[in-house]
Structure 1
């Protein structure tokens, strides 16, 4: 089983280092991310749930870690996270169902430290 809390922390450290060594692209991506998930017609929680579904559908464990963490931080409930996984499976089929199992691990891990 993947340690999604550890993966999240490690990725943050490496991305910070990458930001120092490649500030142009990384600062551009950071601005894109910040502006995209700001509350607008859709709230931050909804956008993070959408990003989680896409992360599952495209088979990205790092995305699962980040967007599970950020969705919970934005107030997503377990029920909302499970429905998000269902949408990802609908859109990604069998391969996404395998990554949905990974997302279940991430949900359990991040919910345990947020309570």
Structure 2
């Protein structure tokens, strides 16, 4: 089954909008945490998004994979950097890392092609 990652990203954005408009201050707090966590600091935003990709693969969160691969590419991540990120996630999470790493690679191909 082929996934259209552009459609997945659009669906995630619609879901975020619905959730954040429904949960009040908790949503505001989460968005602030997210923005602060991935902002440039000692580590740049691209590196932080690649870290988030590895965690997303390891915890098997498909929406997180789509979102953070999208943001990593937007921050300038290359296919090679995403490939290495997947390797680290595979090392840390074994067989499931292979399955979910494949999803990250497929999302990356979609988002890199659109760049």
Q: What TM-score do you get using the length of structure 2 for normalisation?
A: 0.95
The 2-side partners of 1:32 and 1:82 are apart by 27
Select the structure with the greater relative contact order (CA < 8 A; seq sep ≥ 6): 1
What does 1:1-115 align with in structure 2 at a 5 Å threshold? 1-114=2-115
The answer for unaligned runs of 5 or more in structure 2 is none
Q: Secondary structure at the match of 1:62?
A: helix
- The farther-off stretch of 5-14 and 86-95 is 5-14
Contact 1:4 1:109 survives alignment (8 Å):
yes
Residue 104 of structure 1: CA displacement?
1.3
Q: CA deviation at 1:34?
A: 0.3
Structure 1 unaligned segments of length 5 or more: list them.
none
Give the distance between the partners of 2:93 and 2:5, measured in 1 at CA: 21
**What displacement does 1:92 show?**
0.5
Q: CA offset at residue 23 of structure 1?
A: 1.9
> Hey, which bits of structure 1, 4+ residues long, moved more than 3 A?
none
CA contact (8 A) 1:5 1:65 kept: no
TM-score for the superposition, normalised by structure 1: 0.95
